[in-house]
Amino acid sequence: MNVAKDKIDKRRGASIDKQAHAMDTERWILDTLEFDRAVATARAFLATDPDTLIVVCADHECAGVNIIGASRVTNAKLTELSQGIGNTNNAIREAVVGVYENAGFPVYTMADDGYPTTTDPDNKMLIGYAGNADRYENWLTNPLPLQDSQQPFGKVAPLNTYPAGPINRDTNGMFLVTGQVPSAGAGSSAVHTASDIPVYAEGRGASLFRGTIDNTDVFFSVMQAVLGGVPVTK
């Protein structure tokens, strides 16, 4: 079995977890598009060499991500509300969040490179988090990422000008989302959850991945496919 390590850019989709911890919706969605391109690279290699197994999975779910609905207003109105002029607490939530039949219908126009021309369309898709820390939310794309303590130059300009955490951004809209994570624990970061995650497999040995399995069984199934061969089903 061939492993196409040299064919895949490992950087693609590398920050999905990091941006989910930050509850930075648009950034982890764009990174998911990058990850999809990495999978496409692997599938293109599989098409040329069928003696290949592709396994797509994650080590955990992060932040309890869910689509909760879509905005009921245009992006221009949402931008106006986010400025906080005359706002009271939760004004953005009451005016914007649409669930079920009250949700708007977002139209994301795709550019030739496969990415949306804007991540702030009218009636944009809204994401909620179940494993979240306290944060302010205005539903608009954040112009800057959060400070990252793992980066060696995080305390040097311009990185030190980035928001310190989710509680430090989008404050003008005055919509505070209270989280479940105590400040003494994970602090300003959303947390990993115990939610099931999907495992996708294609190629030689893909039949070994089926149903609901323990995460450690993914490793053993890969090793069986590589070393022991694929069982013949009758």
How far is Cα 210 from Cα 56, in angstroms, rounded to an integer? 13
How would residue 187 be classed by pLDDT, with cut points 50, 70 and 90? low
pLDDT given at position 87: 74
Domain count, the chain: 1
Cβ neighbours, 10 Å, residue 62: 24
Does 29 fall in a domain? no
- Residue-wise pLDDT for 96-147, tens only, equals 999 999 999 999 999 999 899 999 999 999 999 999 999 999 999 999 999 9
Bridge pairing between strands 135-136 and 65-71: unpaired
Q: Which pTM value belongs to this model?
A: 0.88
What's the domain range around 91?
Answer: 64-139+170-193
Say if 150 falls within a structural domain.
no
pLDDT at 78: 96
Q: State whether residue 224 is helix, strand or coil.
A: helix
What integer best gives the mean pLDDT of the chain?
A: 89
CB atoms within 10 A of CB 40: 12
Query: Would you state the pLDDT for residue 232?
Result: 56
Q: Residue 79 domain-assigned?
A: yes
Average pLDDT over residues 48-55: 94
The per-residue pLDDT for range 203-221, each reduced to its tens digit, is 999 999 999 999 999 999 9
pLDDT, tens only, 4-18: 333 334 456 889 999
The reply to whether 126 falls in a domain is yes
- Indicate whether 32 belongs to any domain: no
Residue 84 included in any domain: yes
Q: Mean pLDDT over residues 49-54, rounded?
A: 94
Other Cβ atoms less than 10 A from the Cβ of 8: the count is: 15
Provide the pLDDT confidence category of residue 153 given band limits of 50, 70 and 90: confident
Q: What is the spatial distance between Cα 213 and Cα 222, in angstroms, rounded to a whole number?
A: 13
If phi over 0 gives left and psi between -120 and 50 gives alpha, with beta otherwise, what is residue 69? left
Q: How confident is the model at residue 2, as a pLDDT?
A: 38
The answer to the question of residue 78 being in a domain is yes
Radius of gyration for the alpha carbons in the chain, expressed in angstroms and rounded: 21
Q: Are 92 and 138 in contact (CB under 8 A)?
A: yes
**Strands 53-56 vs 200-203: parallel, antiparallel or unpaired:** antiparallel
- For the chain, give the number of residues: 234
The DSSP call for residue 100 is G
